Structure 1
């Protein structure tokens, strides 16, 4: 049974196929007795494969852990050059679109106007695309890079004798922040921008279903509605599931560590599983309420609470040092942008392979989730406005947040290394999930603010889960954005279960493996998207010029 809502007639269709909707019935399922699109092939294959993965990992956790570790080793050690070049290309592609005439094309047609104001739009971008990372990595990365991984071979202030070399502090601090900004700035948001732009063009301007397969109509033609298209969407589902599972797993580890820090609750896998189960239950309520009733309200609430948290750290800590360090980090990020982005000719292989490559894989894995979500809330923007805002606004926010948190933690570390919990958690014993709480320990109201940090981590957990569920639901429902609620809740539950089995099957290594395993094939899909974007925008330009 086809959807009752027919696709819009695509402007600029002369550039491509005369009938965009040939064979579309193949991807639109019908509503079954339990409220699922049970006739949709993408849903059936994705659901069955997810269940099989969960069962096998629970049955053979040790073998699963070994397999996951082998994937991580191959991806970071053998394909490091590929991922570095890949993401560099996405930045160049986005910047090229900004300066070309294609930038004046409006997503949705010449008369389209944005559905969300800037504040709401930025709040949605902020929650979906950043989330738990702001809390988990904002202290961990700057401290680690300034003292252990040493981007571009910068000398650590802690020498071989273990003493503190104060002359090395300024450059180490700046490069530690620059190395962090590399992972959370323009590179990653360029990945999201490519995915979101492709979806927006072919959905809003060409009238195709809101599904990743639609982007490949210029390449596959009518075959996009068959098994070629099914394969693309299924790959997108798994990429999203494992990308989200990684974030949820990290969020559960940090929440558990915070509970131990504040309340003495034991840190173990059992507690983390309970955290995932409870937060997934809350996410189900938000998923049931939908985008405007659940996700949007949680996003705006979370943004407000996060800004309060940030302002407290800025004012309660060494404010001038934090601002100065942030600015110095941004300056080094700009001046060292090319060397940090280079795939070859560097001395810091450990930094590139252990950090950068994993992040690039993670951004690619998250691209279907964040890209579809960003596209869904970005109708009415011009291509130029869209690309610049998606690249710059979240990046600048991250630079300010991580610059202040990282500079505050580094000042605590260098002021009194012997008493610094940050040094203990990041450099000595390496307990990354406790890094944030180590920094908060040196500020006033430690217990209150640590509790707020735990709450923020849990709310980010919820918003990531429900946003991802809406996206996966859209993919598996053949592009419908109003698929049945039970189906959304099913995918929210599956996300939680995959995060649980990855934690059981190998912890952090398993989470990293889940990301890289799906990112490798999906990166090829994204490269092909760039060609489709150009084809689609060329048609829009011809339509505008008449």
Structure 2
């Protein structure tokens, strides 16, 4: 199948299908295994999760304050695509999800009624309940997302690597990211992301079932949940096929509007002054206790509690990190590292704190000062927590219907966006992967959620998140190392340039460090200014047939080869030795310096037939075809060149451009 990395997609898909098959055939014994796996991971690697997540937060804060923070996620002259209000709105949309609706009331009430230590139902229990909710949904979660989003945005937009996970490890793996080391990184990201999404879908379908039951439309049970899962996964699949510009964007807008309406309704009709007071106190308590809670492992007691709460959340956020990280990277091009961290770390966290205060503290107020009953209702059925709270406010039927609709929309958004991100990773960074694979990943997400619900319900969902996140935690640690290596090297290059300029006599700078003429100037002057810089580039044009093959052969002979010869003549005049190799469908240029390869640029030409719903005639030489040119950077990574950049002059300019672009690697 064209457009995908078959090794990554087939391996990841095969592993997940194997899990689904085994869990379906051996449901009871598999459920017991699930419990054992969770206990083993928490017992042996709990400290690693806690240390890693705390480290990710400290790493982001260090970058925020470091000299590297002025570096852009993009070229130096790139400007942000979105205004601050629009950007913040999209970050809020990324932070909103099924989890906030599911746990916004339930988590504070569960901690309040059954605190980790002390007596339940007291003011101290209320304070600790909100502190734990803030801990689990606050800075640590977004610190995790920032590590992945920052690495993807930096390497994709500043160094033109594809927007995929393996790109973030280029400084460590080099050319090996095109082989099995890179494949393993992407496979790990796909498996972790899919199980993280399945966890959200599993939580969502139980809450949708509870909402329909409250409205009197459907009973509560496993059968009903499976039917809902099938129906809504089908809707999500249709949305995923429609792409980001239609289905996903419109559902995200609907989610945001519904969430803000519901938030404003509860704030205004609930105990407003009480909510404002507790918000201020809760933020202060959270910041005061943050150093201790960030490193709390509970080695003397509470391992079971840690597994059900903090460990589950850290695993859940890590498994979601490729999905959310890629989203925030895609909308943050042109922002500096400081802008990125400041916006992503503080704006969504502030809104999350408001959400938990409005919903959680309203429920606690009802329990403490307004007749009680909330704690028992939540203990009886966690998915009904939101609806029980809304039932105590005016217009409960309308708000419950809105809440149910929002969970459905979040369900669909999570499934379709997640499927698209997984497909992009499985396609080597292709922003428009094949429709068939989008459908496959969307359906598989629903299937995994169904299996997890059948084999163990909420505990199985928690175990899936914690287990699959473990290997990706290691990848994230390597991402941090990779970022530091690259940022230091970039700063070192800038420092060396500055040192040279400062050491030159007045008037000598232009001679020692010739400025690069702007694009469009004589490419020979640009090449002369850049000789000595090291890079490695390939250019590829993907497969086809018929008359298209003859056209491609002409393209190589009449356009590519002359362009490469032009560059070779000029390079040899500048003292470089150049070799050119060509065949019917490819041509390449290699620059040697002191007998070592300094630079390479190859074009492999093939043709693509445009996508059509009609069955094309196999021998029809008049079939239309499309030539697509992709620049493959080191590691087999590529960017696409527009059709108007495949002329002889354009290819010559691109060779020169790529020769100089990778200064410092």
Give distance in 1, aligned partners of 2:87 and 2:395: 32
Give distance in 2, aligned partners of 1:222 and 1:355: 40
CA contact 1:325–1:404 (8 Å) conserved in 2:
no
Q: Are positions 1:189 and 2:142 aligned together?
A: yes
Give distance in 2, aligned partners of 1:478 and 1:346: 42
1:215 maps to which of 161, 165, 168: 168
Q: CA deviation at 1:127?
A: 3.1
1:357 maps to which of 308, 311, 316: 311
Give distance in 1, aligned partners of 2:226 and 2:397: 24
Write out aligned runs for 1:57-456 (5 A).
Answer: 57-150=23-116, 153-157=117-121, 168-169=122-123, 171-263=124-216, 265-344=218-297, 349=302, 351-417=305-371, 420=373, 422-427=374-379, 429=380, 431-456=381-406
Q: CA deviation at 1:453?
A: 0.6
CA contact 2:144–2:318 (8 Å) conserved in 1:
yes
Q: CA deviation at 1:183?
A: 0.3
- Cα 1:217–1:121 shift into 2, 3 Å: same
Give distance in 2, aligned partners of 1:325 and 1:262: 32
Larger Rg, first or second structure (1 or 2):
2
Once the two structures are overlaid, the 10-residue window that deviates more, 209-218 or 291-300, is: 291-300
- Cα 1:313–1:524 shift into 2, 3 Å: same
CA contact 1:256–1:275 (8 Å) conserved in 2:
yes
Q: How many residues align?
A: 495
Q: CA deviation at 1:458?
A: 0.7
> Can you give the 5+ residue segments of structure 2 that lack an aligned partner in the other structure?
498-665
Give distance in 2, aligned partners of 1:118 and 1:263: 43
Give distance in 2, aligned partners of 1:415 and 1:213: 53
* Partner SS state of residue 334, structure 2: coil
Scaled by the length of structure 1, what TM-score is found? 0.87
- Cα 1:172–1:320 shift into 2, 3 Å: same
CA contact 2:50–2:297 (8 Å) conserved in 1:
no
Residue deviations 1:427-478, cap 9 Å, x none? Answer: 4x3x211111111111111111111110011111111111111110111101
* Partner SS state of residue 282, structure 2: helix
- Cα 1:43–1:401 shift into 2, 3 Å: same
User: 2:542 aligns to what?
Assistant: none
Q: CA deviation at 1:351?
A: 4.3
* Partner SS state of residue 209, structure 1: coil
User: 1:516 aligns to what?
Assistant: 466
CA contact 1:173–1:325 (8 Å) conserved in 2:
no
User: 2:511 aligns to what?
Assistant: none
Scaled by the length of structure 2, what TM-score is found? 0.72
User: 1:15 aligns to what?
Assistant: none
Q: Are positions 1:55 and 2:5 aligned together?
A: no
Q: CA deviation at 1:46?
A: 1.6
Residue deviations 1:260-312, cap 9 Å, x none? Answer: 12215211122112222222222223212222222222212211111000111
Give distance in 2, aligned partners of 1:118 and 1:278: 37
* Partner SS state of residue 11, structure 2: helix
Q: CA deviation at 1:495?
A: 0.8
Q: Larger % of helix: which?
A: 1
Give distance in 1, aligned partners of 2:18 and 2:298: 43
Residue deviations 1:304-328, cap 9 Å, x none? Answer: 1110001111111111112222222
Cα-Cα RMSD: 1.8
- Cα 1:47–1:353 shift into 2, 3 Å: closer
Residue deviations 1:337-364, cap 9 Å, x none? Answer: 1222232468772543321111111111
Once the two structures are overlaid, the 10-residue window that deviates more, 179-188 or 138-147, is: 138-147
Give distance in 2, aligned partners of 1:338 and 1:247: 29
Q: Larger % of strand: which?
A: 2
* Partner SS state of residue 162, structure 2: coil
Q: Are positions 1:473 and 2:437 aligned together?
A: no
Give distance in 1, aligned partners of 2:240 and 2:217: 32
Once the two structures are overlaid, the 10-residue window that deviates more, 300-309 or 182-191, is: 300-309
Q: CA deviation at 1:506?
A: 1.5
